[in-house]
């Protein structure tokens, strides 16, 4: 009886996700769907303003902007795969963004269930590769300390942890994917530190692998290549969302958004994965924080809480 009604409920919940009269069209040779139809069809309260659309429902407030890739959800910045397109006040979103960005976030039930027991932590750089350099420190040392702290907290919470390195050695980037595949782990998190020519820039950004058919957030061309890591596109985005949220809550850092890139370490993993840029070594104040064990503990807690929250949402923990 329970199973029967659960199935009915599932069908009822699934139907409005993409059925019905959703207007579709091609813009710049890409498939677009009418966002007003999608959101009102899913019972979101929609407000249209000149140049923006706000949709409220399911605990989310999403703001979409005219001709922009940048949107926000509950105040968190998200970079869409393709720019929004407005016709008068009527907004169109790329169909790829509906399936790879919005739907995983607003309907996590559509993301395949993931066991979350064994997690690989990758500490960026090491050995001869120092990564970004600041005035008083190097990226490779900060990523190692942060990763070790993440591993300690994860183990205390009952997760099994693999680390790509535990000392100052360099792991070639093309070895990391195969390492993850051998462990057959459930999630992957790569930790890096940012650097910018503009020394005023600070904040945290979380990346997941760019889906096929889109260009990365920081530019580049549209690529149709499907990497192994793209098998988990919806879960990759959802994991990035939970980690970015938890990191900002813990640290109060500037939100630089959830972005996509074709980073080597994300291409060949066989589990949902993200790459987190935990702060800017090129900014004096942020570099000081990144060398403060108390701040690193906040970063580590943020990453772990993001993983916990992803596991509660879509995972089957232990
Ligand atoms: Zn790096």
| DSSP notation for 82-110 | S--EEETTEEEEEHHHIIIIIHHHH-GGG
Q: For residues 281-295, b (16+ Cβ closer than 10 Å) or e, as one string?
A: bbbeebbebbbeeeb
The whole-number pLDDT of residue 84 equals 95
- List the structure tokens of 235: 């879960």
> If you count them, how many residues does the chain have?
318
Judge whether 290 and 281 are in contact, CB under 8 Å: yes
Domain ranges for the chain: 2-110, 114-317
- pLDDT tens-place values along the chain, 318 residues long: 444 444 444 443 444 555 568 999 999 899 999 999 999 988 999 999 888 999 999 999 999 999 899 999 999 999 999 999 998 888 999 999 999 999 999 999 999 988 899 999 999 999 999 999 999 999 999 999 999 999 999 999 999 999 999 999 999 999 999 999 999 999 999 999 999 999 999 999 999 999 999 999 998 899 999 999 999 999 999 999 999 999 999 999 999 999 999 999 999 999 999 999 999 999 999 999 999 999 999 999 999 999 999 999 987 654
Architecture of the structural domain at 114-317: 3-Layer(aba) Sandwich (3.40)
Confidence at residue 19, expressed as pLDDT on a 0 to 100 scale: 54
User: What is this structure's pTM?
Assistant: 0.93
The alpha carbon of 120 and the centre of ligand 1 are apart by a number of angstroms equal to 17
Q: Of 283, 203, 207, which Cα lies nearest the Cα of 248?
A: 203
In the reported structure, the alpha carbon of residue 248 is separated from the centroid of ligand 1 by a whole-number distance in angstroms of 20
The pLDDT of residue 220: 86
- Going from the C-alpha of 187 to that of each of 183, 213, 233, the distances in angstroms are 11, 24, 13
What separation in Å is there between the alpha carbon of 311 and the centre of ligand 1? 26
Cα of 197 to ligand 1 centre, how many Å? 15
Q: Which option is the CATH number for 2-110: 1.10.540.10, 3.30.457.10, 3.30.70.270, 3.40.50.150?
A: 3.30.457.10
**What local confidence, expressed as pLDDT, does residue 7 receive?**
42
C-alpha 194 to ligand 1 mean position (Å): 7
Q: How far is the CA of 132 from the centre of ligand 1 (A)?
A: 6
Structure tokens at 307: 């993983």
Parallel, antiparallel or unpaired: strands 255-261 and 204-209: parallel
Kindly give the distance from the C-alpha atom of residue 124 to the centroid of ligand 1, in angstroms, as a whole number: 5
H helices, E strands: number in the chain: 10, 19
Output DSSP code: residue 129.
B
User: Tell me, what's the pLDDT at 1?
Assistant: 41
| Spatial separation of the C-alpha atoms in residues 283 and 36, rounded to whole Å | 41
């Amino acid at each position: 009886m329970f199973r029967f009604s659960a199935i009915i409920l599932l069908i009822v919940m699934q139907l409005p996700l993409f059925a019905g009269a959703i207007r579709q069209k091609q813009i710049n040779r890409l498939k677009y769907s009418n966002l007003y139809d999608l959101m009102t069809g899913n019972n979101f309260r929609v407000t249209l303003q000149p140049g923006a659309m706000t949709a409220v429902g399911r605990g989310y407030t999403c703001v979409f902007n005219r001709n922009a890739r940048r949107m926000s959800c509950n105040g968190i910045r998200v970079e869409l795969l393709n720019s929004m397109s407005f016709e008068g006040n009527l907004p169109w979103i790329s169909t790829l963004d509906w399936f790879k960005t919005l739907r995983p976030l607003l309907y996590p039930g559509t993301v395949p269930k993931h066991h979350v027991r064994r997690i690989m932590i990758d500490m960026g750089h090491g050995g001869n590769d120092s990564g970004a350099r600041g005035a008083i420190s190097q990226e490779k040392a900060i990523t190692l300390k942060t990763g070790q702290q993440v591993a300690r907290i994860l183990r205390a919470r009952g997760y099994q942890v693999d680390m790509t390195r535990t000392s100052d050695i360099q792991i070639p980037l093309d070895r990391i994917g195969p390492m993850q595949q051998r462990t057959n782990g459930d999630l992957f998190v790569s930790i890096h530190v940012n650097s910018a020519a503009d020394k005023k820039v600070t904040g945290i950004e979380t990346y997941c692998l760019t889906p096929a058919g889109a260009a990365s957030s920081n530019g580049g061309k549209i690529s149709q290549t499907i990497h192994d890591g793209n098998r988990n596109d919806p879960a990759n985005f959802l994991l990035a969302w939970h980690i970015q949220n938890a990191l900002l809550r813990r640290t109060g850092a500037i939100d630089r958004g959830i972005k996509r890139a074709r980073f080597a370490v994300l291409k060949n993993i066989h589990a949902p994965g993200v790459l987190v840029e935990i702060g800017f070594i090129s900014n004096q104040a942020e570099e000081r924080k990144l060398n403060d064990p108390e701040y690193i503990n906040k970063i580590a807690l943020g990453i772990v809480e993001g993983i916990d929250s992803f596991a509660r949402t879509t995972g089957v923990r232990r």
